[in-house]
Structure 1
């Protein structure tokens, strides 16, 4: 899979339209469309930085996919693109969010954060008591 297909897949995996990615990154929608269709060369590291911020993904990962950086041995073994882990608390705090067309206020985001804290409180307590750092919440 080439850079252009991977960029399109990452955008779709995040649930963004080309316009949304353009708004989030500051890169024009026309340019993103041309990239995804393979009608442009690999973008500069500066453009990749903007796209990584718009996609909320590590810059180094996008630089590897674009061929500017060599992939780590682990990434080569795993092969295909792996979804990055995103700290949801940080994501809520650092992004302007919309839910069903309603822009969330800082108060809304704080309320969501509190609800998630309550939801996972028991699991965190159990993890802390088990002493197992690899323990994770399972439904």
Structure 2
């Protein structure tokens, strides 16, 4: 029953109704309701992918909760194991990406990369100005 209650908690935490999650994920509201009530088995990885997109949450987290993947926590200590940072620029360029149900073209991904570059450039400029300011 852990998966079912966790799915419901994740949906409520995001502030979505079952209908909203259905619209966002492409998974029927009836199926989501049956899942949350424990009336269906653990969904397939494909359905979990759709639900993760609808919830705007981690696919691997849903896969762990569903029992498809081992937990990222240490088996004996309960500590979260560190993971290497992902190069976001490379990730955007080398993966097929989807946003709100639309697969991004190479041109779309280039625009996303440019927007991120601008955002982080502005932040770096602000930080540099703050660090260069004389101490009071």
**Shift, 1:127, TM fit:** 7.7
Q: Report what 1:40 is aligned to.
A: 40
Distance 1:59 1:24 in 2: 15
Count of aligned positions: 93
Instruction: Find the aligned partners of 1:27 and 1:60 in 2 and give their Cα distance.
Output: 18
Summarize the alignment of residues 80-99 of structure 1 with structure 2, pairs less than 5 Å apart.
Answer: 94-95=99-100
RMSD of aligned Cα (Å): 3.1
What are the within-5 Å matches in structure 2 for residues 69-88 of structure 1?
69-73=69-73, 76-77=78-79
Distance 2:2 2:49 in 1: 19
5+ residue gaps, structure 1:
79-93, 97-116, 132-139
Match of 1:81 in 2: none
- Computing the radius of gyration over CA atoms, which structure comes out larger, 1 or 2? 2
Q: Distance in 2 between matches of 1:36 and 1:70?
A: 22
Correspondence list, 1:118-133, <5 A:
125-126=126-127, 129-130=130-131
Partners of 2:74 and 2:129 in 1: CA distance: 29
Unaligned runs of 5+ in 2: 81-98, 102-118
Q: What TM-score do the two structures reach when normalised by structure 2?
A: 0.58
Task: Determine the C-alpha separation between the residues in 1 that align with 2:13 and 2:79.
Answer: 22
Task: Find the counterpart in structure 2 of residue 26 from structure 1.
Answer: 26
- Structure 1 CA distance for aligned equivalents of residues 73 and 129 of structure 2: 33
CA 1:127–1:10 in 2, change beyond 3 Å: closer, same or farther? farther
Q: TM-score under structure 1 normalisation? A: 0.56
